């Protein structure tokens, strides 16, 4: 079955074939693209009409490659689209956290073409924390609890050498230090010293820093769990955008969320307690977490991963995120590096 390269190519016949497994026997009568935009990937919303007396979701969210050729190449090189298709095909139905329901997902062999038809969360009475003031202490505690549930399920899982062998360690690619170097050149003079120190260290020692980030018990990590990739159902956080799902220590997710999405003053006052809550939740789920001091060291070191994610996005201006969003993420990440002495923690490990 061919994969449409744009939302406009989705016909009634193609959609009917794509949904034949998830909505068997329900005739599709009409399809209309009602919204379209692009960031790191292409996104659209479809309005769907069914036969008389038939019921199905009135709308679906669609993900496919971006229109911009440079962004399309980046998504293909990093495997983001293909990886997310694999998640929705093999894992979405079993993970212990809420994620969008997939109706169809497919990709070609090299990941240059992919398409996902997903639950339209806005039409499913879900809410989005970014629309209501962002992160509070209570919300951060709920996120920590959900991340612990996810991580405990796959803690050091033997499935990583079996049916989940497609889940790789975090990607390493020259594009990361290149974009950090670009940001250093564009914005280094206006940034605090911890920004320049972290940029130089990451550019010089990328692989060694990635080795440090991979030290510890592996589990299934979302990989990009900033608050913009959250939604809430019945008070419980869920996670969307699984294009960066990886096999790595769970503190990668926890530190990424705290550094990127928790207001700085709140992070400073709550992070010790929240890291301990995460450890307690893992223990309660039956896994043996690292000792508190080791977990805290992981937290400090993984703050640099969140910083890299923020800085690489910021280096692209408005192409991946609105510029003011990227600037605020970098500001928070810089503050976390300074508070946690992250550069020092990395240098000690190196």
Please report, for the chain, the start and end positions of each structural domain, with discontinuous segments joined by +: 7-124, 129-349
- 3-state DSSP assignment of residue 171: coil
What DSSP string describes 198-231? Answer: HHHHHHHSHHHHHHHHT-S--EEE-S---GGGEE
**Residue 261 and residue 134 in contact, taking contact as beta carbons nearer than 8 Å:** yes
Burial class of residue 69 (count of CB atoms within 10 Å of its CB; 0-12, 13-18, 19+): exposed
Topology of domain 7-124, per CATH? Phosphorylase Kinase; domain 1 (3.30.200)
Confidence band for 328, pLDDT divided at 50, 70 and 90 = confident
What does the block give as tokens for 153?
């399920």
Phi/psi at 112 (nearest 5 deg)?
Answer: -75, -25
Q: H or E stretch including 73?
A: helix 69-78
> Residue 266: what pLDDT?
97
What does the block give as tokens for 71?
């962004």
Residue 182 neighbours by CB distance under 10 Å: 15
Which CATH code fits 129-349?
3.90.1200.10
Residue 215 CA to residue 16 CA, distance in Å, equals: 46
Confidence band for 331, pLDDT divided at 50, 70 and 90 = very high
pTM of the model: 0.93
- Quick one: CA torsion of 303, 308, 310, 313, rounded to 10 degrees? -160
Query: pLDDT tens for residues 157-216?
Result: 999 999 999 999 998 878 889 999 999 998 999 999 999 999 999 999 999 999 999 999
- 3-state DSSP assignment of residue 169: coil
**Residue 298 and residue 255 in contact, taking contact as beta carbons nearer than 8 Å:** yes
CA distances from 147 to 3, 134, 162 (A): 33, 18, 23
**Residue 312 and residue 179 in contact, taking contact as beta carbons nearer than 8 Å:** yes
What does the block give as tokens for 234?
């019945």
CA distances from 17 to 13, 103, 116, 130 (A): 6, 11, 14, 35
Between 330 and 73, residue with greater pLDDT: 330
* Residue 39 scores a pLDDT above 70: no
* Residue 320 scores a pLDDT above 70: no
Query: pLDDT tens for residues 274-315?
Result: 999 999 999 999 999 999 999 999 999 999 999 999 999 888
Query: pLDDT tens for residues 251-281?
Result: 999 999 999 899 999 999 999 999 999 999 9
Residue 335 CA to residue 318 CA, distance in Å, equals: 23
For strands 42-50 and 59-64, give the pairing: antiparallel
Q: H or E stretch including 308?
A: helix 292-315
Residue 190 neighbours by CB distance under 10 Å: 7
In the block, which residue shows the tokens 């669609």? Answer: 62
Residue 226 CA to residue 163 CA, distance in Å, equals: 28
Q: Please list, in sequence order, all residues whose beta carbon lies within 8 angstroms of the beta carbon of residue 261, skipping any fewer than 6 positions away.
A: 134, 135, 226, 227, 228, 332
Residue 336 CA to residue 304 CA, distance in Å, equals: 9
* Residue 38 scores a pLDDT above 70: no
Mean pLDDT value across residues 16-45: 88
């Amino acid at each position: 079955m061919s994969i449409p390269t744009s939302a406009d190519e989705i016909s009634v016949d193609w959609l009917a074939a794509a949904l034949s497994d998830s909505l068997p026997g329900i005739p599709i009568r009409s399809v209309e693209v009602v919204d379209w935009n692009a960031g790191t990937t292409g996104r659209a919303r479809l309005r769907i009409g069914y036969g008389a007396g038939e019921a199905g979701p009135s709308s679906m969210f669609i993900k496919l490659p971006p229109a911009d050729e440079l962004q399309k190449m980046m998504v293909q090189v990093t495997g983001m689209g293909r990886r997310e298709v694999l998640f929705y095909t093999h894992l979405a139905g079993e993970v212990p956290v809420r994620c969008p329901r997939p109706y169809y997902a497919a990709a070609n062999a090299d990941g240059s073409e992919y398409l996902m038809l997903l639950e339209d969360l806005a039409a499913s009475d879900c809410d989005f924390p970014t629309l209501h003031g962002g992160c509070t202490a209570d919300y951060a505690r709920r996120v920590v609890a959900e991340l612990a549930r996810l991580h405990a399920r796959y803690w050091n899982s033997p499935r990583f050498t079996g049916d989940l062998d497609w889940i790789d360690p975090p990607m390493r690619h020259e594009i990361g230090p290149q974009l950090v170097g670009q940001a250093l050149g564009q914005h280094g003079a206006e940034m605090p010293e911890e920004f320049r120190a972290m940029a130089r260290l990451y550019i010089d020692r990328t692989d060694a820093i990635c080795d440090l980030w991979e030290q510890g018990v592996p589990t299934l990590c979302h990989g990009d769990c900033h608050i913009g990739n959250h939604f809430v159902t019945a008070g419980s956080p869920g996670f969307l955008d699984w294009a960066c799902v990886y096999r790595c220590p769970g503190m990668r997710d926890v530190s990424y969320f705290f550094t990127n999405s928790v207001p700085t003053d709140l992070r400073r006052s709550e992070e010790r307690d929240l890291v301990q809550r995460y450890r307690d939740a893992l223990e309660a789920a039956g896994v043996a977490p690292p000792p508190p001091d080791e977990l805290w060291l992981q937290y400090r070191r993984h703050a640099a991963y969140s910083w890299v994610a923020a800085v690489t996005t910021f280096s692209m201006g408005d192409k991946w995120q609105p510029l003011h969003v990227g600037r605020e993420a970098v500001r928070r990440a810089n503050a976390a590096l300074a508070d946690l002495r992250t550069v020092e923690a990395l240098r000690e490990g190196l």
